[in-house]
């Protein structure tokens, strides 16, 4: 049988376009921190277009989400590490059907603990860290890199890799990022977003406790959650292949 439309060269707008994935880094880090993950994704799925976008360099914390919504392409998969994942969550809920899916890495719905969300960094510890950053940004960033790498297979090497990929943003911009880490609560956004979700955690994360995965599973029993044992907060660098595999499994499952 000869189909009537066989052989037609359809316009590009009607052809199936490749999936696009946008990755957002964590607080105090630039796009270089996600290059190992980006490379692993591209090697495992050459037809997936992966874009790593820097976080906004704005001193006004309330303007970050609007800036991302303006800058990032629509109808993509949104993914992020730590603060990047929290912002991706907010943006996914805002965009709804214009977001293909949400993928977060070492990202807690609430980074700073609350009365009704205890599986997070204690308020007094976060507040002391924030105050220390305002007094001595460079020394506090060094401490932060150590916390990110703690629990990894080779923490010293990992800390050096993180230093190379550290953001060059001003202290005012980094302070705005800390303000977001303190106040963002992604629970309602997670429930408001009805697309596919994957949330990956590190089993030995010193900043986002692995118990947050259990709390999230109780809060959102329908989402996919994966915990990588013996992984630090910097799992996009140290466990890039495994993180990429989990992300691609979700994307492939949606493609069908």
Does position 179 have pLDDT exceeding 90, yes or no? yes
141 in Cβ contact with 148 (< 8 Å): no
Domain boundaries, the chain: 18-255
Segment 123-132, tens digit of pLDDT: 999 999 999 9
Tell me what pLDDT residue 256 has.
61
Segment 210-254, tens digit of pLDDT: 999 999 999 999 899 999 999 999 999 999 999 999 999 999 988
The residue from 165, 189, 205, 232 that is catalytic is 205
19 as an active site residue: the answer is no
State phi, psi for 226 to the nearest 5 degrees.
Answer: -130, 130
State phi, psi for 112 to the nearest 5 degrees.
Answer: -100, 130
Segment 53-110, tens digit of pLDDT: 999 999 999 999 999 999 999 999 999 999 999 999 999 999 999 999 999 999 999 9
Burial 33-60 (b: 16+ CB within 10 A, else e): bbbbbbebbeeebeebbbebbebbbbee
The residue from 45, 149, 199, 233 that is catalytic is 233
Does position 137 have pLDDT exceeding 70, yes or no? yes
- What integer best gives the mean pLDDT of the chain? 92
Tell me what pLDDT residue 253 has.
84
Tell me what pLDDT residue 254 has.
83
DSSP code for 18: P
233 as an active site residue: the answer is yes
199 as an active site residue: the answer is no
- Identify the three-state secondary structure at position 71: helix
Pick the closest to residue 237 from 55, 30, 78, 54 (CA basis): 30
Does position 135 have pLDDT exceeding 50, yes or no? yes
Provide the β-strand partners of residue 162: none
Q: Pairing relation of β-strands 197-202 and 224-228?
A: parallel
pTM of the model: 0.93
- CATH number of the domain at 18-255, please? 3.40.50.1820
Tell me what pLDDT residue 11 has.
41
The residue from 82, 107, 149, 232 that is catalytic is 82
């Amino acid at each position: 049988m000869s189909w009537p439309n066989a052989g037609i060269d359809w316009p590009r707008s009607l052809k199936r376009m490749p999936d696009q994935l946008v990755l957002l880094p964590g607080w105090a880090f630039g796009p270089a921190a996600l290059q190992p993950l980006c490379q692993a994704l591209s090697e495992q799925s050459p037809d997936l277009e992966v874009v790593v976008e820097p976080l906004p360099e704005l001193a006004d914390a309330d303007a970050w989400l609007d800036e991302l919504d303006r800058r990032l392409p629509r109808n993509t998969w949104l993914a992020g590490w730590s603060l990047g994942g929290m912002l991706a969550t907010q943006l996914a809920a805002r965009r709804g059907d214009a977001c293909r899916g949400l993928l977060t890495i070492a990202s807690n719905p609430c980074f700073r603990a609350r009365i009704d969300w205890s599986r997070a960094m204690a308020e007094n510890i976060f507040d002391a860290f924030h105050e220390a950053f305002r007094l001595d940004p460079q020394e506090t960033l060094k401490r932060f890199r150590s916390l990110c790498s703690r629990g990894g297979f080779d923490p010293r090497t990992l800390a050096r890799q993180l230093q190379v990929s550290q953001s060059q943003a001003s202290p005012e911009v980094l302070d705005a990022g800390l303000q977001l880490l303190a106040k963002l609560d992604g629970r309602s956004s997670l429930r408001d977003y009805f697309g596919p979700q994957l949330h990956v955690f590190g089993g030995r994360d010193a900043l986002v406790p692995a118990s947050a995965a259990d709390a999230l599973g109780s809060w959102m029993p329908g989402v996919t959650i994966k915990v990588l044992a013996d992984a630090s907060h910097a799992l996009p660098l140290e466990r890039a292949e495994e993180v990429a595999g989990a992300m691609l499994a979700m994307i492939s499952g949606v493609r069908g």
